Amino acid sequence: MGLKSFVEVPRESHFPLENLPFGIFRPKPSPGAAAEAARPGVAIGDFVLDLSAVAAAGLFDGPVLRGSECFFQTSLNIFLEMGRPAWKEARSTLQKILSADEPILRDNANLREKSLLPMIEVEMLLPIVIGDYTDFFSSMHHAKNCGTIFRGPENAIPQNWFHLPIAYHGRSSSVVISGTDIIRPRGQGHPTGNSPPYFGPSRKLDFELEMAAIVGPGNELGKPIDVNEAADHIFGLVLMNDWSARDMQAWEYVPLGPFLGKSFGTTISPWIVTLDALEPFACAAPKQEPEPLPYLTEKKRINYDIPLEVWIKPKGYDLPSIVTRSNFNHLYWTLTQQVAHHTINGCNLRSGDLLGTGTISGPEPESLGCLLELTWNAQKPLALSGLTRKYLEDGDEVIFTACCKGKDYNVGFGTCTGKVLPASS
């Protein structure tokens, strides 16, 4: 039996008492009214619990959170920086006050009305101030497929890939919340013959199915994070669509890597699902050959069994079509290895930093995490609602979702969505 809340939680909800993901919201304003301040909340069923109201009522009375201002902020950064003792205390308190047999909130009609808001009546915002954003390349299936497409099967995966979690530094200013439209980027593409490079709207706009870790406490400059302590620096995970202009990316990435082909937009889901909530879904990570260097060798290698789906809804269609079913457990390099490698040179992570996993592809044709792979770089068009797609077209809406299946409950992430708009003139 799952945990029981006094708040009605539909059976298929992503947000039962076992989950309680954190986000930042504000109530949708009434016509003519000024917008209210953004503040932290957790999802419970079809409601958002306002943590500022709960804190103002004195219900966070444990030794770590008592008197803290962390839930009166417009981002979660201060709460994240407080670390695992604060996260565990908050989760324990919230599960208690939302439980069916606890009267402190259940029987307080005034506080209940202040603190529980229907999700349809709120606007979700970026949950964190993102100082830095790093994107890894941690799926072996994705690396092999991309390498085969561009370099052939004999040179598919470079030698260094098996020794370190490759990554690049992304652009945090263009990270947006789910539901934000994405304007098709303009830029250069490969020249044809002796002509100048193509310039104009991207002709190969793609999605990338990723997740991202949200950094809690950071580390001091010059002091790396031990791989076996790295989990204490990860608050939780979000869904992430790292939109990619494949034609622009292919022309620009040698010798320094992605730039304009990636920096025009990255979408994340609004709810951060904590590692504590994901703990029941921990699983063994793939065996690594060769064995990594000592600073990347873990006492226990953990991945998570998180089923992932991608849907595309073309312009003018009422229903989306599923195009991908993958799983977080396909990642070759773990989250903790990514953190350890990121900091081994002394780089300082900070609260709210975003660490993308890279595209998460599986071994099966239906588990590929982007159109580059699904269409083999437009050589095999993808069937979609009676249409075909080589790459995304204007008006297409891309929808990611993820949901772990427990016994009589789910731990889900909601959705991560974005619609493609025409390029600016």
Q: Express each pLDDT in 403-416 by its tens digit.
A: 999 999 999 999 99
What count of other Cβ atoms lies within 10 Å of the Cβ of residue 113?
A: 10
- Please state the rounded mean pLDDT for residues 187-202: 96
Q: Express each pLDDT in 265-276 by its tens digit.
A: 999 999 999 999
Q: How much is the pLDDT for 29?
A: 86
Domain boundary, last residue among 125, 157, 179: 125
Amino acid sitting at position 239: L
Share of the chain above pLDDT 90, in %: 97
The pLDDT confidence band at residue 45, using thresholds 50, 70 and 90, is very high
Residue 364 placed within a domain: yes
Residues 358 and 296 in one domain: yes
- Please state the rounded mean pLDDT for residues 35-42: 95
Domain boundary, last residue among 109, 125, 141: 125
**65, 93 contact by CB (below 8 A):** yes
CA distance 320 to 313: 4
Q: How much is the pLDDT for 425?
A: 81
The pLDDT confidence band at residue 2, using thresholds 50, 70 and 90, is confident
Q: How much is the pLDDT for 1?
A: 62
Residues 154 and 206 in one domain: yes
- Mapped onto helix, strand or coil, the DSSP state of residue 59 is coil
- pLDDT over 80 (residue 330): yes
Residues 83 and 189 in one domain: no
Closest CA to 116 of 172, 54, 70: 54
Q: How much is the pLDDT for 289?
A: 96
Residue 360 placed within a domain: yes
Size of the chain in residues? 425
Query: Which ranges of 98-207 would DSSP assign to H, the alpha helix?
Result: 103-106, 109-115, 140-151
Residues 118 and 197 in one domain: no
**What tokens were used for 284?**
């063994």
Q: How much is the pLDDT for 302?
A: 96
Q: Express each pLDDT in 172-194 by its tens digit.
A: 999 999 999 999 999 999 999 99
Q: How much is the pLDDT for 210?
A: 98
- Please state the rounded mean pLDDT for residues 248-272: 96
- Mapped onto helix, strand or coil, the DSSP state of residue 8 is coil
**112, 105 contact by CB (below 8 A):** yes
Residues 35 and 155 in one domain: no
Residues 374 and 272 in one domain: yes
How far are the Cα atoms of 195, 230, 313, 384 from residue 317, in angstroms, in the given order?
Answer: 39, 44, 6, 11
Q: Express each pLDDT in 89-141 by its tens digit.
A: 999 999 999 999 999 999 999 999 999 999 999 999 999 999 999 999 999 99
Q: Which of 27-31, 63-67, 119-123 has the lowest mean pLDDT?
A: 27-31
**28, 117 contact by CB (below 8 A):** no
Residue 7 placed within a domain: no
- Give the chain's radius of gyration (CA, Å): 22
Residue 12 placed within a domain: no
Number of domains in the chain: 2
Domain boundary, last residue among 91, 107, 125: 125
What count of other Cβ atoms lies within 10 Å of the Cβ of residue 425?
A: 5
CA distance 263 to 199: 17
Range(s) of the domain holding residue 319: 133-421
CA atoms within 13 A on the CB side of 203: 11
**247, 240 contact by CB (below 8 A):** no
Residues 282 and 143 in one domain: yes
Q: Express each pLDDT in 347-389 by its tens digit.
A: 999 999 999 999 999 999 999 999 999 999 999 999 998 899 9
- Please state the rounded mean pLDDT for residues 386-395: 96
CA distance 134 to 148: 24
- pLDDT over 80 (residue 70): yes
Q: How much is the pLDDT for 386?
A: 87
Tracing tokens 């029981």 back to the chain, one arrives at 4
CA atoms within 13 A on the CB side of 253: 14
**CATH label of the domain that carries residue 281:** 3.90.850.10
The whole-chain average pLDDT of the chain stands at 97
**CATH label of the domain that carries residue 38:** 2.30.30.230
- Please state the rounded mean pLDDT for residues 50-76: 98
User: Counting Cβ atoms within 10 Å, is residue 184 exposed (0-12), middle (13-18) or buried (19+)?
Assistant: buried
Residue 285 placed within a domain: yes
Annotated catalytic sites, by residue?
142
Question: In degrees rounded to 5, what are phi and psi of residue 66?
Answer: -60, 125
Residues 161 and 215 in one domain: yes
Residues 277 and 360 in one domain: yes
Residues 282 and 183 in one domain: yes
Q: Is the peptide bond before 40 cis (omega within 30 degrees of 0)?
A: no
Residue 257 placed within a domain: yes
Residues 162 and 116 in one domain: no
Q: What are the E-state strand segments in 99-208? A: 116-118, 122-125, 133-136, 167-169, 175-177, 182-183, 186-189, 198-201, 205-206
Residues 184 and 300 in one domain: yes
